[in-house]
Homo-oligomer: A and B are copies of this chain.
């Protein structure tokens, strides 16, 4: 029987490739998405379709109040999502699209589900190159979470394989992720990366996420299947 793993799935390009990767290497995939007050809820419809298409064993969408704390352009309408930034601006400091402690909260829920499933493996599509400004995308953070998680649960008090947070995309450039996804048969037309996608899942083409994504397709030398809003 395949080992179970919890896969954090936003419905974007990275986490879709991540899910395809986890299924490809043989895990029974339990995909987990969050409705956390983000503006771009179209990605959740995408996540549900993608989980089915890629053969996830189960897919759950958890509603949490993270947006209630404010502090991010992704959850607070009063903070504008930056548009048309150049590479230098995007690489400088923590962007306003950073959601406080988001990956910590997401991984904590993944840990909770993993414990109920008796799964020892969680996959998260963090990337330390393209999101260098996000503190919770760094390898040191992932290692510290793993350490904490091994102490946090019943699993950690029992025998068996240690709890592991897998980050297969962490050192890949966006173009590498696109190439890896292509070899795994991912249909990127289904994915939604835009921070301000409309209800139909069409992308703005101008936010940081859209720009990184477009650069990824260009770098991989494949056509960009993204549906952009007019």
- Please give the residue numbers on chain A whose beta carbons come within 8 Å of chain B beta carbons, in ascending order: 60, 62-66, 68-71, 94, 98-105, 107-109, 111-113, 115-116, 135-136, 138, 140-141, 144-145, 147-149, 151-154, 156-157
Given contacts A116-B100, A141-B148, contact A65 B62 (CB under 8 A): yes
Q: How far apart are the CA atoms of A144 and B111 in the complex, in Å?
A: 15
Q: Which residues of chain B are near A101, meaning CB under 8 Å?
A: 108-109, 111-112, 115, 149, 152-153
Whether the pair B105, A70 counts as a contact (CB closer than 8 A) is no
Tell me if B147 and A151 are in contact (CB < 8 A): no
Q: Is A136 a contact of B152 with CB atoms below 8 Å?
A: yes
Q: Are B112 and A100 touching (Cβ within 8 A)?
A: yes
A68 vs chain B, min Cβ distance (A): 7
In contact, A63 and B62 (Cβ under 8 angstroms): no
Which chain B positions have C-beta within 8 A of A111? 100-101, 104
B104 touches A69 (CB 8 A): no
Closest CB of chain B to A33's CB: distance in Å? 12
Q: Which 6 A-B pairs have the closest CB atoms?
A: A101-B112, A71-B116, A100-B115, A144-B148, A141-B151, A108-B108
Give bound CA distance, A208 to B104, whole Å. Answer: 31
CB-defined contacts of A108 to chain B, threshold 8 Å = 101, 104-105, 107-108
Shortest CB-to-CB span from A51 to chain B, Å, is: 16
Q: A104-B111, A108-B101, A111-B104 are in contact. Are A148 and B147 (CB under 8 A)?
A: yes
